[in-house]
Structures are given as structure tokens and as C-alpha cells.
Chain A
Amino acid sequence: MMLSSNPLEKRLQLAGIFLIAGLLVEAICLFWALPITFVIFAMLGGFLMLVGLAIFLYSLISKT
């Protein structure tokens, strides 16, 4: 998939990709109630979601 040449749209796309990855990690982890899935959910899923949200918020305040 090609990222948009528009900087704002590109940031939104990047944010979306991170959020989708984070959401998929979280969805997969919810299938098992195991300590390791809890850690993956919180660490990996949470990290990807936070990065996605940060990029989205940055895109709101960026000039372009």
C-alpha cells in the first residue's frame, strides 16, 4: 500500500497502521486468558496503540 504524498494524510495513515496493529494484537490476546497474553496485551498492544494515538495527536497540531 502506498502512503499519501500529503504530509497530513501520511501521518493519519501511519497512525492508522499502528492502531490497527495494536488492535489486532489486543484482539488476538483476548482469545486466551494466560499470563503471557496479558503481558503481550499490555506491553506490545499498549505500545502500538500509544504510538498510533501520539502520531494522530501530532498530526492535529502539525502545520501541514
Chain B
Amino acid sequence: MPLATSLIVGLVLFSAVLIGVLVARPSVTISRDGKILAFVGLFILPIFCGLLGFASELDRSKTTAFCLSCHIMEPFGKSLYVDDPSHVPAAHFQNHRVPADEACYSCHTNYAMFGRLKVKMYGLKHVYVYYFGHQPAPEDIKLYEPFNNRECLHCHLGARSFEEGVMHNADPATLTAIKSNQLSCLSCHDVAHDLVHMKGAKLWKESK
């Protein structure tokens, strides 16, 4: 367990013990100091612990391990290791164009305002379907909406390879069309999590 999480758990347990003392001996709240203790123990600390814990949970929900912990996502995790540079997710993951421990989140979040909240809502829906609904086959999983270039341009915009790329500048209108999301990046970079054709593909073995 990371140190930060351990500290939060420690604070949560400390708060629980303090509240336990107040529950066991509520008469201590008669005095002025007792009232302050009750306010801190029953109001300030729980809110503080709740917010810290929630922030920690949100942070951990960005990790690749978190996304791949559901069995249905295993083929998508495997697709990150395909030994093929034309396979966009694999090339990004293996070359650390996205942080390896936040690979899914880096591309599949929404970089618009409140976008993270929106994808968290999608995530809650995923959990509901996973545990209580009918799970689709991994090949049948589709995005809720077409992949927005904004997610690619979050990193690539301004990069030399993007701005001065030969194909991107072959037609003067191309770059503008990409930046305004009229021409999808995936219309050319079209091999993304190709689960159907991935079976039997050579996989990259990460050297430890």
C-alpha cells in the first residue's frame, strides 16, 4: 500500500477511535473543551477523512491496473503489448507516450470541462453492468461516442511530429480539419484495440 494511502487509513482509524471515545462517554461534551472535541471529532475530521479518501480513490481509479482489474478488460490490456508499431495503443504504451501506469485513462478520459466527471459516470455504469447487467463480449464493447480528437491533441497539439507531419500537411485543409475534429485522427491511425485480429499476434515482452 502506498505511503499516502497508509497515512489516510491511519487518520481514518484515529478519527474512528476518537469518535468511539465520544460515543462511549458522551458526557465529556458538557464542558467547553468537550464541545470543541466533539465538533472536531464528529464534524471536521470525518469530512477531512472523507475528502482525502475520495481524492485517493479518484487518483487510484486512473491506474491501468484499476481499469484492467475487470476480466472483461483483459483483452484490451493484452492489446497494449502487441508487437506492432501501427497498433496505436500499443505504440503509445510501449514507448511511454502515455504514462504506463495511467495508460487507459490518458486516452480515454475527457479533457473538456467536467469531462472527468462524465467519464466517472460512465465508469459507474460499467461497474453496474459488470456486476448486475449482461456483460458484452470484449469485441462488442464500443465507445459511448466517437473518439474526439481533443483527447489526442491534448498531448500532440504543438508537437513537431504532428504540426509538421508530412501527411498532416499534404493538403492545407487537413491540419485545420483535424484540429476542429472534422477529420478524425482514427480515420488514418485506425488500428486501436483491434481485438478481432489480435488473436495469435506477437506480443512484446517488457524487460524488467
Are A and B interaction partners? yes
Does B56 lie within 8 Å of A39, measured CB to CB? no
Q: Smallest CB-CB separation from A24: which chain B residue?
A: B16
Q: Which of B10-64 contact A (CB under 8 A)?
A: 12-13, 15-16, 19-20, 22-24, 26-27, 29, 38, 41-43, 46-47, 49-50, 53-54, 56-57, 60-61, 63
**B60 CB contacts on chain A under 8 angstroms:** 33, 38
Q: Which residue of B lies closest to A28 (CB)?
A: B9
Q: Does B114 contact A (CB under 8 A)?
A: no
Give B41 Cβ to nearest chain A Cβ, in Å. Answer: 8
> In the complex, which of the residues B50, B54, B124 has the most CB atoms of chain A within 10 Å of its own CB atom?
B50
User: CB < 8 Å: which of A19, A24, A36 contacts B42?
Assistant: A19
Residue of A nearest to B63 (CB): A33
Docked CA distance A8–B47 (Å): 21
Given A29-B57, A33-B65, A35-B69, is A23 in contact with B5 using a C-beta cutoff of 8 Å? no
**CA of A63 to CA of B29, assembled, Å:** 16
Q: Give the size of the chain B interface in residues (CB under 8 angstroms).
A: 41
Choose among A20, A34, A36 the residue that contacts B16 (Cβ–Cβ < 8 A): A20
Q: What is B's interface to A at a CB cutoff of 8 Å?
A: 1, 5, 8-9, 12-13, 15-16, 19-20, 22-24, 26-27, 29, 38, 41-43, 46-47, 49-50, 53-54, 56-57, 60-61, 63, 65-66, 69-70, 123-124, 126-127, 130-131
Give the B-binding residues of A (Cβ under 8 A).
1, 4, 6, 8-10, 12-13, 15-17, 19-20, 22-24, 26-27, 29-31, 33-39, 41-42, 45-46, 49, 52-53, 56-57
